[in-house]
Chains A and B, each alone.
Chain A
Amino acid sequence: MHKKVAQDKYQHHDYYGIDALLTEDHLLARSAVREWVKKEVSPIIEDYSNRAACPTHLFKGLADIGAFGPSLPMEYGGGGMDEIAYGIIMQELERGDSGIRSMASVQGSLVMYPIYRYASEEQKQKYLPKLGSGEYIGCFGLTEPDHGSNPSGMITNIKDMGDHYLLNGSKMWITNSPLADIAVVWAKDEEGVIRGMVVEKDMPGFSAPEIHGKWSLRASITGELVFEDVKVPKENVFPDIKGLKGPLSCLSKARYGIAWGAIGAALDCYDSALRYSQEREQFGKPIGAFQLTQKKLAEMITEITKAQLLAWRLGSLANDSKATPAQISMAKRNNVDMALNIAREARQIHGGMGITNEYPVMRHMMNLETVLTYEGTHDIHLLITGMDVTGFNAFK
């Protein structure tokens, strides 16, 4: 069925005047990305999501607008912006769709960031400008079929063959993998130490089949990574970083972006619900005039406001390089959970219309089930905070 796409009427909501804490750059970045989303994403997203197709043409647009690694230095293909700007960009992208935000998170925080941080200068020059410009698409392989929440149990491994390494194993749930030109892969060496490396698409023995049947993040492509005796040149292995802290530092970067991004999805649901509640009439008055609807809306904007303040403070800490992984974990967990609850409540306010793709709410709700799960599940993040405050490790 071909329908005329409804106009994206989204307006920003800033109940506590948090904009006053932002700089001119932040506001400009926000309005630019919002315009881009309204122009490029909103008109097509329901269709792509419906067909479970990835709008691959948007990679170039994301690169052009500067959504890949905005807080990395300009000379390495980044935008040279601060962490709050990075957060704001993720927020506006996820306001459009969590899948589009994921395309940018993976490219910037999980692929460009580790290469920038851990690869040799030569490797940086080789990959970063092409990743920043969208010429290369990257993916990040940490999760395995049998090791999700517990990545340290991974079995993917490398063997030193003298002039190269031999990589074997497989990765699961890898965003962008079927399209990727390069993969940042984490595998254990012969001593059982986790190492990071860049694997290129056409290295023999490497394949990346797509995973089908997702009811969530449908506009983002997900796949496996399969390595059968892949020869990885020695210079492709990150020289200095060893152990789980390598991938975890990347996850912290991406989780930080998600803590901001989720607010975007929540804002879009709230915005749609608020407008619907003022227009839709039942029993002779707008449904927004009923107390139960008001309770929902009042709680939504309260939770959004709290999440905005949390994200802003986290951003200030990150700008001073003081945001701890546990603080980032808390914001990721809280803000995604907040967004998912808001999506569910907003769906109710839309009544039957809420289950259709006339409104963005159900799509956000389904997307957020992934966002709640990847980059550490909600419960794993509870354990991170739990361990941080009690000193007891409850993971195992």
Chain B
Amino acid sequence: MNSLVCISKTPETTAKISFNDNNSQFDTEGVQFIMNPYDEWYALVRALEAKEQHGGEVTVINVGPASNDVVIRKALAIGADKAVRVDTEANDAFQVASEIANYAKTGNFDLIYLGKETIDYNGAELGAMIAELLDIAYISFASKMEVDGNVAKIERDIEGGIEVVEVQTPFVISAAKGLAEQRIPNMRGIMMAKRKPLEVVPSSSVQAKVSVKEYKLPEMKSGVKLVDPDNMDELVRLLSEEAKVI
């Protein structure tokens, strides 16, 4: 079972978010980056489990500049066999999906994994696009998967419940919580990662179709107001006039 796992880089969850260029550019100054947790904890680890059970090879792919290499090395340290970086800035989902699909066509992948979304842009678009470009099936929000030969039985998170589907390889799967358990790389893995191949391939020059014009931060949350338990009238007034919920 050969897998391709798409990994991306996202700001750390505690990072302070700000913008420049008239709120059209994310200001990365001082921001620490991590591997997108859905990619790392669930997609990558599930691919490694599949390899441990059924053999094969796990390749990770990232579309981005050289500064992403540290995140790619982490994927290798966790256990991926090799890595590919398509050397171009990632601008929109279509461009990234096209680059990944173009690379995937050159290999012989039974499964293409990615996280259900990135925790920064929350697009959740890439999986469907890659599957479409490769003309294969797409299973989104997978929280459990069993593989038998070339058939996979997958549980998908749907609104209010779970849907169980069956699909034949090859397909694209987007990983939700539950698909696997986070693995923290160990020092040995980190040292081995240095010797694993990280291939940098030129982009196939796909143009982005969407560009960001402006970001708007959510309004600041107002502080908590404490109301004396004896002062029910004030509570009712605040709920009705300020919170406007009653």
Q: Which residues of B contact A70 (CB under 8 A)?
A: 187
Residues in B whose Cβ lies below 8 Å from that of A387: none
Q: Which of B14, B32, B182, B185 contacts A28 (CB 8 A)?
A: B185
Contacting residues, chain A, for B187 (C-beta < 8 A): 29, 32, 65-67, 70, 79, 81, 85, 89
B191 near A32 with CB under 8 A, answer no
Name the B residues within 8 Å of A32 (CB-CB): 77, 184-187, 190
Stretch at the interface among B67-75, B203-211, B233-241: B67-75
A81 with B191: CB separation less than 8 A: yes
A31 within 8 A of B: yes
Q: Is the CB of A25 within 8 A of B188?
A: no
Q: Do A35 and B186 touch (CB < 8 A)?
A: no
The reply to whether the CB of A74 lies closer than 8 angstroms to some CB of chain B is: yes
B191–A80 contact, CB under 8 A? yes
CB-CB < 8 A to A12: which residues of B? 32
The residue among B73, B74, B187 with the most chain A CB atoms within 10 A of its own CB is: B187
Among residues 85 to 104 in chain B, which have CB atoms less than 8 Å away from a CB atom of chain A? Answer: none
What separation, in Å, do the CA atoms of A39 and B184 have in the docked complex? 10
Q: Is B153 an interface residue, CB under 8 A from the partner? A: no
Q: Chain B contacts of A28 at CB under 8 A?
A: 70, 73-74, 77, 185, 190, 193
Chain A residues within 8 Å of B54, by CB: none
Q: Is A11 part of the binding interface, using a Cβ–Cβ cutoff of 8 Å?
A: yes
- Measured CB to CB, the closest approach of chain B to A13, in angstroms, equals 11
**B188 to chain A: which residues have CB within 8 Å?**
66, 74, 79-80
Taking CB atoms, residues of chain A closer than 8 Å to B69 are 24
What is the 8 Å Cβ interface bit string for chain A, positions 70-87, against chain B (1 contact, 0 not)? 100010000111000100
Of all chain B residues, the one with the shortest Cβ separation from A38 is B184
B32, B186, B193: the one within 8 Å of A66 (CB)? B186
Which residues of chain A come closer than 8 Å to B73, judged between CB atoms?
24, 28
Q: A29-B190, A80-B188, A80-B191 known; 20 other A-B pairs, CB under 8 Å?
A: A11-B32, A12-B32, A24-B70, A25-B190, A27-B70, A28-B70, A28-B74, A28-B185, A29-B187, A32-B77, A32-B185, A32-B186, A39-B182, A39-B184, A64-B186, A66-B186, A66-B187, A74-B188, A74-B191, A81-B187
B: which residues have CB within 8 A of A? 14, 32, 34, 69-70, 73-74, 77, 182, 184-188, 190-191, 193-194
Instruction: For the complex of A and B, list the 5 residue pairs with the smallest distance between their C-beta atoms, beginning with the closest.
Output: A66-B187, A79-B187, A66-B186, A32-B185, A28-B190
**Pairs A–B under 8 Å by Cβ, sample size 23:** A9-B14, A11-B32, A24-B69, A25-B191, A25-B194, A27-B70, A28-B77, A31-B34, A32-B77, A32-B184, A32-B185, A32-B190, A35-B184, A39-B184, A65-B187, A66-B186, A66-B190, A70-B187, A74-B188, A79-B191, A80-B188, A81-B190, A89-B187
